[in-house]
Amino acid sequence: MNIARNTITNPQIKKIYTVTKQQGIDSDLLHSMIYERFSKSSIRELSKEQAIVLISSISKTKKKRRPVWLEAGPISLAQTNKVQFLLADILSKKDYKKEDLLKRILGKSSIDELNTKEASKFIYALEKISKGI
């Protein structure tokens, strides 16, 4: 099976942005939703099926109201694991300190202080740093 055939299509991406705009969901919240629901850091990483689920979920959401699973609660276990994995990768290649990265990127002193939205932003930044090394 060709993996590329199962990736999200441009019309699906357009539909996601249209529906999120209609529902009053900003880009940060959308990306937090994608990470929390599918453990993906980008819309382009979604499969066609995941895009369908996301579009349906957003469409069913009452306007201007966040689904309960989107509320910015404490960092999830999946996010904690992803942060630890990325930090281990970065720290093995460069002479950074974990606390310095967290302080510089988010102004926090501990991973435990992060909520889900902040954790998503931190993961995104760590992925960029990891790819740039």
Question: What residue segments make up the domains of the chain, in order of their start?
Answer: 3-64, 77-132
**Stretch 112-127: mean pLDDT, rounded?**
86
pTM for this entry = 0.48
Residue 43 and residue 8 in contact, taking contact as beta carbons nearer than 8 Å: yes
56-89 as b/e: b if 16+ CB within 10 A: eebeebeeeebeeebeeeebbeebeebbeebbee
pLDDT, tens digit, 9 for 90 and up, residues 1-15 = 345 679 999 999 999
Residue 116 predicted with pLDDT over 90: no
Mean pLDDT taken over the chain? 83
Q: pLDDT value at position 2? A: 41
Give 133's pLDDT tier (boundaries 50, 70, 90). low
Q: pLDDT value at position 107? A: 86
pLDDT, tens digit, 9 for 90 and up, residues 46-90 = 999 999 999 998 887 655 555 554 556 788 888 888 988 998 888
Residue 33 and residue 117 in contact, taking contact as beta carbons nearer than 8 Å: no
